Each structure stands twice: as C-alpha cells, then as structure tokens.
A and B are shown apart, each in its own frame.
Chain A
Amino acid sequence: MRALNQKLLRDSWRMRGQLLAIVLVVVAGMATFVGMRGVMHALQETQASYYAAYRFADGFANVRRAPERVAQQLRTVPGISDVETRVRASATVDIPGFDEPVTATIQSVPDGRAPRLNQLFIREGRRVKPGRDDEVLVNEVFAEAHSLQQGDTFTVTIRGQQQRLTVVGIALSPEVVIQVQPGGLFPDRERFGVLWMGRSALAAANDMTGAFNNVSFSLAPGASLDDVLSRIDLILDRFGGTGAIGRADQASHSLLELEFEQLRGTSTVLPLVFLLVAAFLLNIVVARLVNLQREQIAMLKAFGYSDLEVGAHYIQLVLGVVTAGAVLGVAAGLWIGQAMGQLYLDFFRFPSLAYTFEWLVALTAFLLTAGASLAGVIGAVARAVRLPPAEAMRPAAPPTFKPTAIERIGLQRFFDQPTRMILRNLERQPVKSALTVTGMAAATAILVLGLFFTDAVDYLIEVQFGIIQREDLTVTFTEPTSPQALYEMTSLEGVTYAEPFRAVPVRLHHEHRTQDTSLEGIPPAPYLRRIVNTALQPIPIPEEGIVLSDRLARTLQVAPGDYIQVEVREGARRTHRVPVAGLAEQFVGVGAYMDVEALYRLIGEGPALSGVFLMTDADDTAALQQAILDRPRVAGVVSQDRAVEGFEETSAENLLVFTFILSLFAGVIAFGVIYNSARITLSERERELASLRVLGFTRAEISYILIGEMTLLTLLALPLGFALGAVGAAGVLAALETDLYQIPFALSRATFATAAAVVMASAVVSAIIIRRKLHTLDLIAVLKTRE
C-alpha cells in the first residue's frame, strides 16, 4: 500500500495547519490526563506506603490528663491492635531574628525506642537522646521557613516556663503531611510548627509525669472503628476525654484526602472535555476531506479497492493524528506530572515522591482519545465508502439554499448580499455551525472553570474575614477560664474591644444522623464574630435554641423549629433536646451557635471562657501577641491578617501555574476549533469567493464573508461558554464541598472578560491566517477546474 500511504502523507502535509491544531488539542487532553492522573497516583501510592511504613495511627484521642495505667485498659479494647500514649504541649517559640509570635505543638517521642505508631522520618541529624531535656526535632516545613539547621537553638515557653532547645534533627511524620495549626484554616509555616521532644522531658515541662494527654491507636484487621471509638470515649471520659476521632477527621489526613478528591475530579472532567473537542475536530476535518475526495474514493473503488481498504486509509489519518498527539501528550504529561509533584511536595511533606510512569494511565488515555476520535469519524468514512462508485464519480449536487428565517420574516432589506451569504450559509449547515459554536463555547467554559477559583476564594475571604470574622486576633485558652480573663485582655495596650466565647465539643443527633462539632456560646448581639443569614445580614442569637450552619442543618436534615439532641462531650456529658432557632451562612466549618448564657445552662456549669476575640489598634501587633502569649493559660493567638496572607502566599503560586496551563490549553482548543472551521469554510467556498473576486469584489469584501461568519459564530459562542462555565463551576464546587469547607459560588466580570479575551485572540489569529490565504486565491485556476 505504498502509494496509498504516500497519498496519506501528502494529504496530511497539505492540511498540516489544521492537523497540527488538532494534535495540540489531543496533546492538551493527554497531558492533563497523564499529568494529573500520574501525580494523583504517585501521591496516593506514596501516602499509602508512607502510612504503612511509618505506622500512621488509625485513630486519635485527646484527654485532659490520664494516668499511664489507663493505656493498659485501652489495649484490652476489642479491635485495637496497638496503643501509643503521648504528651502533647502547646508552646510559644522565640526564634532568634524573627520578631513575630510563633506557636508550636510539641509532641513526645518515647525515650530510648522508636514510637510504635506515627514514626518519624529523620531527614537530617538524629533522634533525641533519652533523658535529654534540651534536644528537639523540628518538622521540615517549619525548619525551612526559619532556615533552622542541626545545632541551632531557640527558646520555647511551656506553661510559662522557658526552656532552651537545640535542634538535633529535621523530621517528618505521617501525622503532619500538611502542617496546619489547631484552629487555623490555612497552613502558616512561619508562625506555627510541630516539634518533637523526649517523653520524660516534655512530661516534666507539661506537668504530665506518669500521665498522658494524647493517645493514638491502630485497629486490628476487620475491627469496627465506630465501636472502638465509643469504647475509648467511655474509658477516657472521666479523665477529660474530648472524643476520639478516626483518621478521616485527622487534620493532615483530611486535607490530603480533600486535595486528592479535587484532583480526581479535575483529572477526569478536564481531559474529557479536551478529548471530546479533539474528536469533534477530527470529525469535521475528516468529513470534509472525505467530501472533497469523493471522486478519488470512487476511482479507488472502480479499480478494485475494497470499502475496508478505503475506510482504513482515512482511519489511518485519524490514528496518525491521535498517535502523534498521544506521544507528545504523554511526554508533556510526564513533565507536568513531575512539575506538579514537585509543587505538591512543597505543600505535602512526604519523605519522597515515588513518581513512576504509569503505562496503564497512558494507554487508557490513548484508547480514550482514539476511541472518541474514531467514534466521531467513522460515520463520515462509512458514508463515503457506502457511496456507489458510479454515483461518486459525478460531482455532488449543488447544495440547496433558501432564504433564512430572518429574511423570511422580512428583514432582508437590512442585509446586503454578502451578509445574506453569511446567514444562509450558517442556516444551511445548522449542525456544523452548532458544533463550531459548541466547540468554542467549550473552550470559553474551560477558561471560566480555570479562572473562577480565584473569584470564589476571594469571595470566601471577603465574606468570612470581612463580614463574619471581624476580629484581628483570636486568643484560645488551654482550658475554660474565668470570665475575669476578658477584662485582663481588654486592659492590654492596643486592645480596643474584646468579645468572649465558650466552645464545647458536642455530638448533634437528629433521627439516625449525627455530626460532631464544636458548639460555640457567644454574646446575644456579637460584634466581632457574627452570625449571618444567606443574605449575609447579621442575625441576633436567640435566648433559647441553637443556630446551625446551613450545611450542618442539611447534614442533619433539620429546619428551624425542629428539635435536635445535643450530646455534650465534656464535663457532665449530658444530652438535651434543643430547638433549632435559625440557620447561618458559613463557608468554613460546620458551626453551631448558642447564646453563651444558654450554653452555660445547657452544660450545667458556671461562666467560663474558651477564648476571646480581640479587635486591636496596636501599631506593634507582634508585641501585643507576645504579651498575650506570655500570660498563663493562653494556648495560642491567631492573627487573621496573617492567616489570610499565609493562605494567599501558598495558594497563589499553585493557582498561577494551574491557571496558566489551563489558559494555554483553552486557547489551543479555541484556536483549533475556529481555525479548522474557517479553513473548511474556505475550502468549500474557494470557488465562490474567487468568482466574486472576478466579478469585481475587493479582497476586503470577500474577507468579510468568511471572517464575518467566524465573528458571528464567536459572538454566539461566548455567552454559551459563560453559561457552561458557570454551570461547570457550580458542579465543581458542589463536588468539592466537604465538612471542612464550602467554597462559595462567585464569578467576577474579570473572569468572563479574560475568557472572552483568550477566545477572541484565538479567533483573531485564525482570521489573520485565513485572510492571508484569501489574498493568495488563484482566480484563474479556480475558475478552470470543473464543477
């Protein structure tokens, strides 16, 4: 079949611009698929092997103070295979040269042996020596943020006592793949760190000698997590247990899973769109080629080529394009995957990322692309070979035209002849026009999808930190503290207003549904931490009853007026029937709120505070924060500005890369669709346009016919693309909604404008290329060919 292959190569070369555009779309699809799937696979594999090798615990529990012998009792719980007790302390850290307050969680490691659970990976240096109270291991991200190395020293304050520590090593733990401060939303690696000290040293500093305040455990195969958790709660109850949690609720693990969930969604939807567009483009290009070559097909058949051989010829063209796209796409995907892997490694701390090339992923992507493309093309090829050769030898009948709907209703007097040609051509080929519009709309929608995330996060920050959380600082106490603390805080230099809160761990029940959360008691008309309705208007806290966040109410399937069971999980642990008094809009967390006085009655305790929200006008916030941290019973201070800044810093880089890649690919799609569509129109109407030139039309006038059509299609596609993008964005957000976050739906005009600009730029580039082709139209040759 050498001559036929020669024909294939020459035909492909002649259509190289169009085919290249399609190859690029395939590359985009394959690259996103292979890259994102690959990095997801690598992260999951790495996570699984890391968890297994370093014995990440299946569950965790905090307790106020339990004697060590309780550990023995925990080991006898059916379903538990191993138990590790620990001491955990909150501390403030004074890093030389860093003048802002830094807090840390210090975890104990057993003296003289490796931990049974949650083992540490020592990146540098060594473990702490048994009995040494001046040695510390530092979590890697925190060490990097402050350029801490082996041998560096800093001071920590635990329960008011200062202690000088020397860094003996840099470590990682499966517990802190993502390091997030307690109560914080976003990682702030400069102002919060995880440290590890020897058990006896930390116990001495934290008044926990012979006792523990944190326990982790692993499950025996087949054990029921829920059973084990409730048995642990029963045992730890009288020592001040706050409720055991499974892995799924562990901060680092749940954030990791959230990210995987996002990646799974994007790595499915995005490549699918690309591959469908590629299939669609191949379909229109091959259909046109087959149309143009109907006489060649007839000749081949007249000389005895079978339908199968002729069909295979065109299928080869499709496979060639897909294969070229696949090879380049896999290469680009590997590169993207590795680059994304490196970005993720900065965010997720694993000892290393096992990034391996997944043949299966690449093969799946190839088969998907080839399948989608062939499905799109097979119809056109089948039609061509089905045509009897004697009939195919005759030129196709001239297409039937009629006045368009717009003209039929009497508007034709507003259109000149060229405009009528544009309109009639669009109306005569409604399917082709619709597909072109759909393809461009898909490109617009991808851009909107790539850009809207920034809008949504901006809006979230604006609402959450501008309307709901108006405090500058949040102070949390190590344990419920006398209301006197409120006045102490108010009297600090720089504090202008202080608002107390009391948070109690609860389990909410309604029928068979339950949800664990923290019930916050706040003043009836809060000024700093406000509760808002869905219209973002602050609502007062009723004297009785509970206000639930909208999402929590949906989880429990309750509406205002319903009653729920509130099981208090500390102190006397009583359960009450409480009416739902209202619903609150909340993007972060699943909050439940009550009037603080009502909360005191509910838990049957006198007034006590879990923490205080502060508004400040201090010039030197750092000094104020330090002054607060120096007070006894203060567990931590979170600065809202810092939290937002920290988030923006970490996410900005990732978002920027992602947005850039997406815009590039969407531009490729838009260009591929518009250029191909215009080229086809050009080749279908070359003769007609040349005839017009012979009749005295100028180049500009004939350009108007083609480019006017492109413009009209682009203008139709943009609003459709905006709508598709908005629907897609809402879908992505719904898929991403978890207990932790709900990203609000928000789209800015800038997003629409950017998407439109990219699509229109692609259209302009295509128009320029088409216009150049129109200028080189060979009038004589075109007229000499027969029709």
Chain B
Amino acid sequence: MVDAPSERSTNGMAEVVFRTERLSKIYDMGEVQVHALREIDLALYRSELVVLLGASGSGKSTLVNILGGLDTATSGRVLYRDQDLTRADDRDLTQYRRRYVGFVFQFYNLIPSLTARENVAIVTEIADDPLPPEEALDLMGLGDRLNSFPSQLSGGQQQRVAIARAIAKQPAVLLCDEPTGALDSATGVVVLEAIERVNRELGTTTMVITHNVAQAEMADRVIRLSDGRISDIAVNETKTPARDLTW
C-alpha cells in the first residue's frame, strides 16, 4: 500500500473520471434545512465498478444525481474529467448527460408506448456513436424480445431493457440507482450480472447504489455513506462474481 485507498485505482494506472471537492447539498424544506451531502471528497477512476452503500436517506441518490448532472450542488466542486459540473448551466448539463452518462433507475422508467427496441432507439438516436439497439439488447440476453412492449416483459426483463438503453449509447459512466430494488433476488442477480458484464466488456465506469450489503462483494471499491458523509471506503481484493451473490 503506497497511497491511500481513495487516491488510487484498483486497475493500476489511476485515470480519474470524477472528482468531488467539499461537495455539499442542502435541501431547503422551508423551516428546516436537510444536509443531504456534507463536504464529500471523492475520486472515481476509469473502468472501475463502485458500489455505493448506505441506508435510506444517507445521501447516495443525491450524490449519484449530482454526478449524473440531474441535480446541482449547493457548494463545493464536481469535476467530470476537466469539466466543472458545478459551473455548468442547464444546456451544458443536458449535453453532458447526452454524451457521457447512462442511467439505470429503480423503477426502469421505460416508455410504455414503445417496444424494447424503440425504448433503446430513443436514446441511440441522439447519441454520437451508439451500439445498434439490437446489439445492446442482445448483450442483455433480450435478442428475442425486441418487439415486446414493457407491459409484456417481466420486471427483470424490463430492467435489462433499461440497462441496454443506458449502455447502447456507449456512455463513459453508468449510474445505477437501486437497480434491483424492485426485483426479487434471483432476478436481481441476473440484472447485476448484466451490469457486471457491461463494466467488464465495455470498460464503462460504473456506480451502483444499493442498501443491500451483499451486493458490495461484486465491486472493485465499496463506498459507504451515512448521514451525508463518507464513512468508509474499502477496496475488494477479490471480487465475487454477481452470479454467486445471494441475499
């Protein structure tokens, strides 16, 4: 151990994708102020798979939303490579999300009136160098459900369409907010395997939010949040493949 864990990539050469400096987020709820994030200092490296652990209300969704350009910080800085997201206006954030970020949400957020293929196409159509929707869906094992509507798919299948949609644009980062939150454990494993495969085969920097401690074993690094602060950062010397996870 030469460097502090937080300063070093698990893949050897440290190429920083995200860096936050004293990042804080305060929600003004009228009479009370809620400190969702308190002076977070953090770096994320290229191609690593990070699991963000924390109880409900610990600030993990807020952090991911700020990293993904969906929300803005109250104070501090967020850098995506050299780009200062805290200084970006709405138009810049839109462009940032469009080029670099792939999202996977807890409730899939598919468009019910579009088929699986079309739900992916709606994102690839505005991307610079996307995978064909069919290829992305094939990667998720859904090559035979291209023309199914969300209502005709199971929850796990819907979440894999959502992952296909997120990765088809070949994003620089994949942000997954409780991707298995609405799924049973068997289906959840299938979804995590899909995320793991994207991280491994496409080399996409990936952050998975969960409150499920068991899922931390698949990560390169595990970041624990509690009460808006980073309470612990741990490096997994040996990662457990997603298919071996149980909870």
Q: Which residues of A contact B (CB under 8 A)?
A: 1-4, 6-7, 10-11, 14, 295-296, 298-307, 309, 388-390, 393, 786
Q: In the complex the two chains form, what is the Cα distance from A10 to B123 in whole Å?
A: 18
A-B contact pairs, 24 of them (CB 8 A): A3-B118, A7-B113, A10-B114, A11-B113, A14-B113, A295-B107, A296-B111, A299-B103, A299-B109, A300-B122, A301-B94, A302-B68, A302-B97, A302-B103, A303-B122, A303-B126, A304-B95, A304-B99, A307-B94, A388-B70, A389-B70, A390-B70, A393-B109, A786-B107
Q: A296 to B125, Cβ gap below 8 A?
A: no
Q: B65 to A303, Cβ gap below 8 A?
A: no
Q: In the complex the two chains form, what is the Cα distance from A305 to B91 in whole Å?
A: 10
Shortest beta-carbon distance, B92 to chain A, in Å? Answer: 11
Q: A304 to B71, Cβ gap below 8 A?
A: no
Q: Which residues of A contact B126 (CB under 8 A)?
A: 303-305, 309
Q: A4 to B94, Cβ gap below 8 A?
A: no
9 tightest CB-CB pairs across the interface, nearest first?
A304-B98, A10-B113, A3-B122, A3-B121, A299-B109, A390-B70, A304-B97, A3-B118, A390-B65
Residue of B nearest to A395 (CB): B107
Q: In the complex the two chains form, what is the Cα distance from A298 to B111 in whole Å?
A: 11
Shortest beta-carbon distance, A674 to chain B, in Å? Answer: 26
Q: In the complex the two chains form, what is the Cα distance from A295 to B112 in whole Å?
A: 11
Q: In the complex the two chains form, what is the Cα distance from A727 to B166 in whole Å?
A: 60
Q: In the complex the two chains form, what is the Cα distance from A335 to B90 in whole Å?
A: 51
Q: In the complex the two chains form, what is the Cα distance from A300 to B125 in whole Å?
A: 12
Q: In the complex the two chains form, what is the Cα distance from A390 to B90 in whole Å?
A: 13
In the complex, B18 has a CB within 8 A of chain A: no
Q: A6 to B118, Cβ gap below 8 A?
A: yes
Q: B91 to A303, Cβ gap below 8 A?
A: no
Q: In the complex the two chains form, what is the Cα distance from A301 to B97 in whole Å?
A: 8
Shortest beta-carbon distance, B35 to chain A, in Å? Answer: 17
Q: Which residues of B contact A786 (CB under 8 A)?
A: 107, 182
Q: Which of A1, A295, A302, A307 contacts B70 (CB 8 A)?
A: A302
Q: Which residues of A contact B105 (CB under 8 A)?
A: 299, 393
Residue of A nearest to B149 (CB): A10
Q: In the complex the two chains form, what is the Cα distance from A300 to B97 in whole Å?
A: 10
Shortest beta-carbon distance, A142 to chain B, in Å? Answer: 66
Given the interface pairs A7-B113, A302-B97, the reply to whether A2 lies near B121 with Cβ below 8 Å is: yes
Given the interface pairs A3-B121, A11-B113, A295-B109, the reply to whether A303 lies near B90 with Cβ below 8 Å is: no
Q: Which residues of A contact B70 (CB under 8 A)?
A: 302, 388-390, 393
Q: Which residues of A contact B166 (CB under 8 A)?
A: 303
Q: A299 to B111, Cβ gap below 8 A?
A: yes
Shortest beta-carbon distance, A18 to chain B, in Å? Answer: 15
Q: A307 to B90, Cβ gap below 8 A?
A: yes
Q: In the complex the two chains form, what is the Cα distance from A332 to B94 in whole Å?
A: 45
Q: B118 to A303, Cβ gap below 8 A?
A: no
Given the interface pairs A303-B98, A303-B103, A304-B94, the reply to whether A3 lies near B71 with Cβ below 8 Å is: no
Given the interface pairs A7-B118, A304-B97, the reply to whether A388 lies near B113 with Cβ below 8 Å is: no
Shortest beta-carbon distance, B107 to chain A, in Å? Answer: 6
Q: In the complex the two chains form, what is the Cα distance from A7 to B125 in whole Å?
A: 14
Shortest beta-carbon distance, A324 to chain B, in Å? Answer: 19
Q: B68 to A3, Cβ gap below 8 A?
A: no
Shortest beta-carbon distance, A111 to chain B, in Å? Answer: 81
Shortest beta-carbon distance, A390 to chain B, in Å? Answer: 4
**Within B76-101, which residues are at the interface with A (CB < 8 Å)?**
90-91, 94-99, 101
Q: In the complex the two chains form, what is the Cα distance from A7 to B117 in whole Å?
A: 12
Q: Which residues of A contact B125 (CB under 8 A)?
A: 1-4
Q: Which residues of A contact B98 (CB under 8 A)?
A: 303-305
Q: In the complex the two chains form, what is the Cα distance from A393 to B65 in whole Å?
A: 11
In the complex, B205 has a CB within 8 A of chain A: no
Shortest beta-carbon distance, B65 to chain A, in Å? Answer: 4
Q: Which residues of A contact B97 (CB under 8 A)?
A: 301-304
Q: Which residues of A contact B111 (CB under 8 A)?
A: 7, 296, 299
Q: Which residues of A contact B114 (CB under 8 A)?
A: 3, 6-7, 10
Q: A298 to B94, Cβ gap below 8 A?
A: no
Main secondary structure of the interface of A (DSSP, over half): helix
Q: Which residues of B contact A295 (CB under 8 A)?
A: 107, 109
Q: Which residues of B contact A14 (CB under 8 A)?
A: 113
Shortest beta-carbon distance, A664 to chain B, in Å? Answer: 33
Q: Which residues of B contact A393 (CB under 8 A)?
A: 70, 105, 109
Shortest beta-carbon distance, B122 to chain A, in Å? Answer: 4
Q: Which residues of A contact B123 (CB under 8 A)?
A: 303-304
Shortest beta-carbon distance, A687 to chain B, in Å? Answer: 16
Shortest beta-carbon distance, A437 to chain B, in Å? Answer: 32
Shortest beta-carbon distance, B232 to chain A, in Å? Answer: 26
Residue of A nearest to B102 (CB): A303
Q: B121 to A296, Cβ gap below 8 A?
A: no
Q: In the complex the two chains form, what is the Cα distance from A88 to B109 in whole Å?
A: 87
Q: In the complex the two chains form, what is the Cα distance from A708 to B118 in whole Å?
A: 41
Q: A7 to B109, Cβ gap below 8 A?
A: no
Q: Which residues of B contact A298 (CB under 8 A)?
A: 109
In the complex, B119 has a CB within 8 A of chain A: yes
Q: A306 to B94, Cβ gap below 8 A?
A: yes
Q: B109 to A3, Cβ gap below 8 A?
A: no
Most A-side CB within 10 Å, residue of B123, B165, B182: B123
Q: B122 to A4, Cβ gap below 8 A?
A: yes
Most A-side CB within 10 Å, residue of B91, B96, B107, B109: B109
Q: Which residues of A contact B99 (CB under 8 A)?
A: 304
Q: In the complex the two chains form, what is the Cα distance from A90 to B180 in whole Å?
A: 100
Given the interface pairs A304-B98, A306-B94, the reply to whether A388 lies near B71 with Cβ below 8 Å is: yes
Shortest beta-carbon distance, B148 to chain A, in Å? Answer: 14
**Within B138-184, which residues are at the interface with A (CB < 8 Å)?**
165-166, 169, 182
**Within B211-232, which residues are at the interface with A (CB < 8 Å)?**
none
Q: B113 to A306, Cβ gap below 8 A?
A: no
Q: Which residues of A contact B101 (CB under 8 A)?
A: 302-304
Shortest beta-carbon distance, A495 to chain B, in Å? Answer: 82
Q: In the complex the two chains form, what is the Cα distance from A786 to B96 in whole Å?
A: 30
Q: In the complex the two chains form, what is the Cα distance from A295 to B119 in whole Å?
A: 14
Q: Which residues of B contact A390 (CB under 8 A)?
A: 65, 70-71
Q: In the complex the two chains form, what is the Cα distance from A295 to B103 in whole Å?
A: 13
Most A-side CB within 10 Å, residue of B68, B94, B97: B94
Most B-side CB within 10 Å, residue of A4, A303, A307: A303
Residue of B nearest to A296 (CB): B111
Q: Which residues of B contact A299 (CB under 8 A)?
A: 103, 105, 109, 111
Residue of B nearest to A786 (CB): B107
Given the interface pairs A299-B105, A299-B111, A303-B103, the reply to whether A3 lies near B65 with Cβ below 8 Å is: no
Residue of B nearest to A785 (CB): B107
Residue of B nearest to A300 (CB): B122
- A-facing mask of B35-62, CB < 8 A → 1, else 0? 0000000000000000000000000000
Q: In the complex the two chains form, what is the Cα distance from A305 to B126 in whole Å?
A: 8
Residue of B nearest to A13 (CB): B113
Residue of B nearest to A302 (CB): B103
Q: In the complex the two chains form, what is the Cα distance from A11 to B113 in whole Å?
A: 7
Q: In the complex the two chains form, what is the Cα distance from A488 to B102 in whole Å?
A: 107
Q: In the complex the two chains form, what is the Cα distance from A400 to B113 in whole Å?
A: 30
Residue of B nearest to A391 (CB): B71
Shortest beta-carbon distance, B34 to chain A, in Å? Answer: 14
Residue of B nearest to A293 (CB): B111
Q: Which residues of A contact B94 (CB under 8 A)?
A: 301, 304-307
Residue of A nearest to B66 (CB): A390
Shortest beta-carbon distance, B132 to chain A, in Å? Answer: 13
Residue of B nearest to A298 (CB): B109
Q: In the complex the two chains form, what is the Cα distance from A305 to B111 in whole Å?
A: 14
Q: Which residues of A contact B109 (CB under 8 A)?
A: 295-296, 298-299, 393
Shortest beta-carbon distance, B100 to chain A, in Å? Answer: 9
Shortest beta-carbon distance, B119 to chain A, in Å? Answer: 7
Q: Which residues of A contact B96 (CB under 8 A)?
A: 304
Shortest beta-carbon distance, A161 to chain B, in Å? Answer: 87
Residue of B nearest to A306 (CB): B94
Q: Which residues of A contact B107 (CB under 8 A)?
A: 295, 786
Shortest beta-carbon distance, B165 to chain A, in Å? Answer: 8
Residue of A nearest to B64 (CB): A390
Residue of A nearest to B95 (CB): A304
